Amino acid sequence: MNFAVVEIAGKQFLTRKGDVIETPKIPGAAGKKVTFESVLLHWDGKKVSVGRPALKGFAVEGRILEFDRTPKVLVYKFKRRKDYHRKQGHRQDFARVEIEKIVTPGKSAAEKEKPAAEKKSPGTAKAAPAKKKPAAGEKTPARKKPAAGKKTPAGKKTAPRKKPAASGKSAGRKKTSAAKKSGSAGA
């Protein structure tokens, strides 16, 4: 099994040999070969290769079978009570492509013939310098303390929060009933 995720016109397609996919319209004519070089992921059954964003040396080759259009989608807009109605149809163009081959990078003939003695071993590469650790008798550098005159935000105290006054429907009813009594007495 050999799978590849390829990006075509901003969309991603999972492909393998023999698949027929419907892509957004691409340049070319029916029967022509096309190559998609933006391979995002490849899986050969054992190893998964993931690109950042695309894999170098990988490609997907296919042949354009035909160009067609999707079934019609109706777009209907209206605004109630305004006598506004608009009806519009839309059919999206697409290309039907048959996947013929997934191209993977192989070792070149020059690399195969190169003797094993000339190849660099992984141990010869320069290692990153190690951080120095203090010896048994040495002290580690101390952290800087804030200036004596300044207060830190952690030392700042805040006043306790006050509970809000009674609110809600019951408080509002009491006020209105009291207002009615005082208003009727005054009239």
Residue 181: which pLDDT band, with cuts at 50, 70 and 90?
A: low
Residue 82: which pLDDT band, with cuts at 50, 70 and 90?
A: very high
For residues 21 and 13, is the Cβ–Cβ distance under 8 A? Answer: yes
pLDDT reported for residue 1? 77
Q: Which of the residue ranges 37-51, 59-73, 170-184 would you say has the lowest mean pLDDT?
A: 170-184
Tokens of 129: 């310098």
pLDDT reported for residue 111? 46
For residues 100 and 132, is the Cβ–Cβ distance under 8 A? Answer: no
pLDDT tens digits, residue range 144-173?
666 666 555 665 666 677 776 766 555 555
Residue 105's closest CA among 29, 168, 49? Answer: 49
pLDDT reported for residue 124? 55
Asked whether residue 49 is assigned to any structural domain, the reply reads: yes
Question: How far apart are the C-alpha atoms of 8 and 23, rounded to whole Å?
Answer: 7
Helix then strand count (H, E) for the chain reads 2, 10
Asked whether residue 7 is assigned to any structural domain, the reply reads: yes
Question: How far apart are the C-alpha atoms of 51 and 37, rounded to whole Å?
Answer: 12
pLDDT reported for residue 106? 78
Domain span at 42:
3-105
Asked whether residue 110 is assigned to any structural domain, the reply reads: no
How many CB atoms lie under 10 A from the CB of residue 64? Answer: 19
pLDDT reported for residue 175? 54
Peptide bond into 105 cis (omega under 30): no
Question: How far apart are the C-alpha atoms of 124 and 180, rounded to whole Å?
Answer: 95
Residue 110: which pLDDT band, with cuts at 50, 70 and 90?
A: very low
The distance of Cα 104 from the centroid of its chain, to the nearest Å, equals 26
Residue 118 has pLDDT above 80, yes or no: no
Asked whether residue 187 is assigned to any structural domain, the reply reads: no
Q: What is the mean pLDDT of residues 45-59?
A: 93
Domains identified in the chain, total number: 1
Asked whether residue 153 is assigned to any structural domain, the reply reads: no
Residue 40 has pLDDT above 90, yes or no: yes
Residue 108: which pLDDT band, with cuts at 50, 70 and 90?
A: very low
Sequence-separated (6 or more) residues with CB below 8 Å from residue 64: 26, 28, 29, 30, 31, 32, 33, 34, 95, 96, 97
In order of 26, 27, 41, 108, 135, the CA distances from 60 in angstroms are 15, 16, 11, 20, 58
Asked whether residue 43 is assigned to any structural domain, the reply reads: yes
Asked whether residue 141 is assigned to any structural domain, the reply reads: no
Asked whether residue 68 is assigned to any structural domain, the reply reads: yes
